[in-house]
Amino acid sequence: MNNAMEGKEVPEVTFRVKNEKGEWQDLKSKEIFSGKTVAVFSLPGAFTPTCSTAHVPRYNELAPVFKEHGVDDIVCVSVNDTFVMNAWKHDQGADRVRFIPDGNGEFTKAMGMLVDKRELGFGPRSWRYSMLVKNGKIEKMFVEPEVPGDPYKVSDADTMLNYIAPNASKTKDVLLFTKPGCSFCTKAKAMLKEKGWEYSEVTASPRMLRAVSEKATTPQVFIDGKYIGDSVALEAYLKNN
């Protein structure tokens, strides 16, 4: 596997897609790529571990940053049928990523990325890679090294974003431990929303709270792996960041 397609036009194929209305649609490559800048990542299969826990979620998280730096669409391609891809998109909550089913592997084969995964019972699948496509032409590819297993080193969202905009300010990873009826939790979430920061929320028991912060009050806030504190501490942090 290599980046031999750099500088070439994306393969022109027709994808069979079941759209949001439940209607069959023939979607051609030019409809996806013409006149736009598109970040594409392709992977071995829907619902598989690395694809579901890292590849898709990070592209979805960074979608607003990609958009700020000129990327019109983010596309996920896999050699799966449209029903599987639609179900996976729903399961992932990845509303910022466009899922394209390459059910017959025609696009992947034309890209030179079709590999034999029969030892896993998968049949023909895509090698893991990403690429930046501008107006139908492939500008840059990041292809995973040919080593055993399922390498995930260069096709990730952060590598692609670093290529497009090395100095881009990335989103913060924010985690709130909360409990129902907590007015301070509501205040913390409002402050984060005003700042434009997304967050993950965990409803926590007193024991869980003591385990992570040695406190039993809520909210307890963590940002990029660092313990911030309660809503007062969060307010002070946001004023300086």
Give the whole-angstrom CA distance, residue 184 versus residue 230.
Answer: 8
Residue with tokens 């709270």, as numbered in its chain? 209
- β-sheet with 220-223: strand ranges across: 200-203, 174-178, 220-223, 226-229
Give the whole-angstrom CA distance, residue 125 versus residue 105.
Answer: 7
Catalytic residues, by residue number, are 51
Does residue 175 come out as left (phi exceeding 0), alpha (psi in the -120 to 50 range) or beta? Answer: beta
By the 10 Å C-beta count (0-12 exposed, 13-18 middle, 19+ buried), 228 is classed as buried
